[in-house]
């Protein structure tokens, strides 16, 4: 699974960082940054949660 983020959509809610802090980070203005776009399988649940919690639908999971 690959993770994509759309920074222009991000509203800096920080939900993704709280759900999966080893996959998502924020820049100085709180905008989402990815630490890895291919998280391990053991991180899938948290990444799915991050995508579900994102209020701006800025996170997308792509199956490969």
Partner 1 sequence: MAEISTVTPSEHLEHPDYPMPRAAGCPFDPPPALLTLQEQKPLARVRIWDGTSPWLVTRYDHMRALLGDARLSADTTNPGYPYRNAAGRAGDQIRRTFLTMDDPEHARLRRMVTAPFAIKNVEALRWSVQTIVDGLIDRLLDGPRPVDLVEAFATPVPSLVICELLGVPYDDHDFFQRNTRVIVRRTSTPEEVVAAQNALVDYLDDLLGDKQARPGEDLLSTLAGQRVDAGQMTRREAAQMGVLLLSAGHETTANMIALGTVALLRHPDQLALLRDTDDPKVVAAAVEELLRYLTIAHSGRRRVALEDIEIDGEVIRAGDGVILAGEAANRDPRVFPDPDRLDVTRDARQHVAFGFGVHQCLGQPLARVELQVVYSTLYSRIRTLELAVDEDQLDYKHDGLVYGVYELPVTW
Spatial separation of the C-alpha atoms in residues 60 and 5, rounded to whole Å: 6
Residue 24: Cβ-neighbour burial (10 angstroms; 0-12, 13-18, 19+) = buried
Report the interface residues with partner 1, using CB under 8 A.
8-9, 11-14, 17-19, 26-31, 49, 52-53, 55-57
* CB 9 to partner 1: min, Å: 8
Q: Which is nearer to partner 1, 29 or 64 (CB)?
A: 29
* CB 30 to partner 1: min, Å: 4
**Cα angle: 25, vertex 4, 35; to 5 degrees:** 30
* CB 35 to partner 1: min, Å: 13
């Amino acid at each position: 699974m690959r993770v994509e983020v759309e920074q222009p959509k991000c509203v800096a809610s920080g939900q993704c960082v709280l759900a999966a802090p080893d996959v998502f980070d924020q820049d100085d203005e709180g905008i989402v940054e990815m630490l890895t776009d291919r998280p391990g399988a053991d991180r899938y649940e948290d990444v799915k949660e991050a995508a579900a919690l994102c209020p701006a639908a800025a996170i997308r999971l792509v199956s490969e």
